[in-house]
Each structure stands twice: as structure tokens, then as C-alpha cells.
Amino acid sequence: MSSFNGIGVSPGVVVGEVHRIRHTVVDHEVPGTPRQVLDALEAVAADLERRAIAADIEVAREVLQAQAMIAQDPALVEAIGARLTDDITYPDVRPAIRDAFSGFRAALESLGGYFAERVHDLDEIADRTIAELSGEKSGPVILSAPSVIVADDLTPADTAALDMRYCLALVVAKGGPTSHTAIVARGLGIPAVVGCNDAEQLESGDVVMVDGRHGLVERNPDEATVLHHKTREDALRARAAAVTGPGRLSDSTPVNLLANAGSVSDAVSAANAGAEGIGLFRTELLFLSRETEPSVDEQVALYTDVFTAMAGHKVVVRTLDAGSDKPVPFLNTVPEENPALGVRGWRLTRNGTGVMRRQLQALAQAATDTHTDLWVMAPMIDTPAEAADFAAQAREFGIRHVGVMIETPAAALLADKVLAEVDFGSLGTNDLTQYVMAADRLDARLSDLTDSWHPAVLRAISLAATNATTLARPLGVCGEAAADPHLAAVLVGLGVTSLSMAPVALAEVRGFLATVDRATCIEVSQIALAASSAEEAKAMVSAVLES
């Protein structure tokens, strides 16, 4: 038996035979004329379009369409034309093709985060073009029996081509929590482990157990190991299914359980998952591909759709958090050396374009039209002055519940003064963790540091929560930390009053919180604050909560 660890991105425990996918990388000279290269690129684009039409997974379809568009981009065709100028047969066209892609690559990489992860999609187009020219295209993966798919990296084309009826789990060596593989697996409810470097040791035919919740892959597992992991998983699921209704601790202390959303369909999922409202609506996700600012009327229509999907419930909307890992073309126009620390979120109001004011106007209008209990908060607030400025502007438009995200160390340290300016706060633990730990939240190599269980992060949260309690301001958590049941108990013990998470996580957190009382939450929060590391905090809290 040998164990391989990675990042668990989609829960579930399965045992099955490995089906290993290896990509063809042409490692010899590939001769060709400029015309042949362009024809190969066209063939790749047409193939991607065909796969996009055939894909029945929405996210795979979107990425394939985007890839097809890149392959047809006139700037790419021009870049190839500039490198292969003579009408002759070049002995090896691979360097020219890779070089033509390099400008696009650099542009994506400089954006960081989600976009940097898309560099793999770009590389895949180059690889496919070369394989097309050399006649070494890899055929489709045929699965004839249920299998655990293991790969170095799974491209959108790979996942779109997989017969999901036979796909037990996904294990990939590369990728992080926001990689394409993670998104697809969660969407389909298939266990998945990414960033599993040692996965390259696995070969087709190996028998493995995958625990997608705990990021574990076990080769040749014995029966006792499988039983332990399955029982634990089943118990977690059963506990989740057994509790319905609003979030409560076992002593009836209410904990508002809300959902994070970034689209109308997310809002529908939130309603279906029994969310008590939306705790974070990420408005920038509506505009990631917009070249120009949507008009106020257009925004009113979009927000109206979201509010209608959550009719009768509270909706917390965040004003545009453009920049860093979520650049919006019409807002983030200046290249930045260090975008996570740059002009992002509320800081964009420094540009004086009035975008946030128009957004506040549209939000207020849509809420009035739909009689929605609208709460609006600003992201990346650092100082009391920024909080006061936002509050004044939002109130001008008649918005009654005005809040701020507490996601920078400055805002947490000054929470007594920042929260005094507004009606509520929401801890963005994803960013708070990356800024407290000075570690990029999307860098899989730093996942030991970007862990919200770290006592340094918990102490920042504790400070904010203590001040929120003194000021009688509701303080929620809307980062990923809220979705971890044990951490949720710690957060409640620290004084947090609501938790907002991906709709899929709600049942489990609701089920777990129903088993603990307030005194236990306070006890484990103190244990976690006193720990020296994230691992120690997690282990000591688990020992109490699972006893």
C-alpha cells in the first residue's frame, strides 16, 4: 500500500482501476510550409468547435469554445505569418508555432490566478497544432469499464471527451482548487484530487482508493483502510442529509447559513440548496468578459434576475471586486507589477470613473423593483475613511444595509473603527488568509500557508469578531473557510453570526453545526487560537469535535 497526497477538491470515496491518460508531445522535428501550419491550426479550431458542440458539461463547453476562438484569432495567424515568412518547407516548424503563442501566454500569465491557470489551455492548442502537422494526433480515450482517471493534467478537451458514466474519480498531478478539473469534478459530483505530484507513479491497471474530501490517493489499499474512509464519508453525508431548515447549533443558537453566488444559475442553486439567502454575490463575475461597462439599465435587468431567483430572502451583494485574480477588461486597464496588492476592489474608485456609483444606482433600483432585502458591501476596504466613504455613497442611493468586507489585515486590526462606519461586516477569509500569511492564494505550492486554519489568521478573525460583538454589528464569513464544518464551528465560537458558502457545501455545514452547542464552539475556538500551526489547530479541534 502506498499513499499519495494532493488537494481534495471534490468529496467522495471510491476504489477502482487506474486509467492513465498521457498526452502526445511531439519530441522530434516537424517539417512544414506556412500554409500547412495555418491549415493545421484551422483543423484544430474546427475540431475544438465540434467538441464544444458535443460537450454535455457546460464548463467544458465554455472552455472549448474559448480555445476554438483563440485558435482562430487573427492576431495568432498573423504572429505565425510573421515567423514563417518564405513559401518554403521549413525543416522544423515547432519553434515558430510555440513562439507565436508566447505573447498570448505571457499576457495570461501576467494576469495571474484563474487566468494564469488558462495557460495550460493555450499550450494545448499549440501541442495539438504540432500533433496535427506530424500526423500523431492522440485518439479519443475509450473507457470500457469504470475507472479512476489519472493524468499529468486534464485539458478541457480531455474531460469533454471522457465518457463520464465510467469515470469514478479524477486524479491529476497539476492544477489547483480553481483548475478546470476541480470545477468539472465538483459540478458532476465526482471525487477529485488535484496537485497530486506523485500521481505520475500510477499506471493503468493499478488499483487505487481516492478520497476526494481529504486529498488522498492510496495504491493497493487494504480492506480496513477502504472501510475507514468510506464509513467516515458516509457518516458525513448522512449527518448532512438528516438536518434541514435554518442553521442552528444543538442548543438552538441561530447561525445564518447563506450561499455564495456569481450568476443567476448560482442563485437558483442557492435557493434549491435551502440557503437562507445569498451571503456574497460576486458581481464582477457577471462582467469578466465585458470590454465596456454595462449600462445602468442592463445592470438593473441582471440584478433583477438574481433577486427574483432568491425572492423573499436576504441578498448580500458585493460591489465590483475587479482586479488581481478577477480582472475586468473595462476596469483593469493598467498593467500592475503586483495585482493582488494593486488597485483592485474598492480602490478602483480612485480612478474617478463613477462605475461604483452607477452600480449602486442599479442595485438600489433592482431591489426596489423586486422588494428585495438588499445588503451591499464593498470589497478590499482597508481604512475607516474608505468604509465611511462607501457608506455615504450607498446611503445616498437609499441602500439601507451597508457593509464592508474584512479581508485585509488593516481592516481586521482596525475593525472597531471600520465597522463603526457601517451596518455589518463580512470576513473574506480567502484574501484575509493570503494577506495575513503573505502567500498567493492560488499558488498550489503554498497551500500549507494559505490555510485559514492558521492561528495567525484566526487571531485576525477573532479581533474583528470581538469588535463586531461590542458594536453589535452582524459579522459573517463568506470565504472558503465557512464551508469546512469544523472550521465553521470555530468561527461561530469566535463570534461570527453567519456563514456563506458554495451551495453544495450547505447541507454538510448545517448538519454538523446541529451537533455542537455554543459552549463547544467557544471551547474549540480557544483551542485553535492557542495552537502554533494550522495542522495543530485542525488536529486538536477535530479531536474535540469528533469525540
Q: Kindly state whether residue 7 participates in binding ligand PEP, applying the rule CB under 6 A.
A: no
* Dist. CA 24–CA 22, nearest whole Å: 7
Q: Of 473-492, which residues contact ligand PEP (CB under 6 A)?
A: 478-479
Q: Of 291-350, which residues contact ligand PEP (CB under 6 A)?
A: 321
341 and 380 in contact (C-beta within 8 Å)?
no
| Active site annotation includes 454 | no
Q: Which is nearer to Mg ion, 407 or 480 (CB)?
A: 407
Least spacing, CB of residue 432 vs ligand PEP, in Å: 7
Least spacing, CB of residue 491 vs ligand PEP, in Å: 12
* Dist. CA 183–CA 165, nearest whole Å: 18
Least spacing, CB of residue 115 vs Mg ion, in Å: 16
Task: Enumerate residues 6+ apart whose C-beta is below 8 A from 226.
Answer: 13, 15, 209
Q: Of 210-269, which residues contact Mg ion (CB under 5 A)?
A: none
Distances in Å between the alpha carbon of 157 and those of 164, 181, 186, 187, 405?
13, 11, 17, 16, 37
478 binds, among Mg ion, ligand PEP, none (CB under 5 to 8 A by kind): ligand PEP
282 binds, among Mg ion, ligand PEP, none (CB under 5 to 8 A by kind): ligand PEP
Select from 86-94, 427-435, 485-493, 539-547 the region that touches ligand PEP (CB under 6 A).
427-435
**Residue 519, number of CB atoms within 10 A of its CB:** 12
26 and 134 in contact (C-beta within 8 Å)?
yes
Question: Which of 180, 229, 454, 486 is an active site residue?
Answer: 180
For 325-379, the DSSP string reads TB--TTT--S--SSGGGSS-GGGGGGG---HHHHHHHHHHHHHHHHT-EEEEEES
Q: Which is nearer to Mg ion, 150 or 348 (CB)?
A: 348
DSSP tag of 198: G
Distances in Å between the alpha carbon of 391 and those of 208, 252, 315, 339, 464?
54, 33, 17, 25, 19
Number of residues engaging ligand PEP in binding (CB under 6 A):
10
Least spacing, CB of residue 347 vs Mg ion, in Å: 13
Q: Which is nearer to ligand PEP, 114 or 330 (CB)?
A: 114
Number of residues engaging Mg ion in binding (CB under 5 A):
3
Q: Which three cell numbers stand for residue 352?
A: 474617478
Crossing angle for the helix pair 534-545 and 485-494, to the nearest 10 degrees: 90
Select from 75-83, 162-170, 312-320, 420-428 the region that touches Mg ion (CB under 5 A).
420-428
Q: Kindly state whether residue 431 participates in binding ligand PEP, applying the rule CB under 6 A.
A: yes
Q: Kindly state whether residue 431 participates in binding Mg ion, applying the rule CB under 5 A.
A: yes
Active-site positions read 180, 478
Residues that bind Mg ion (CB under 5 A): 407, 428, 431
Residues that bind ligand PEP (CB under 6 A): 280, 282, 321, 407, 428-431, 478-479
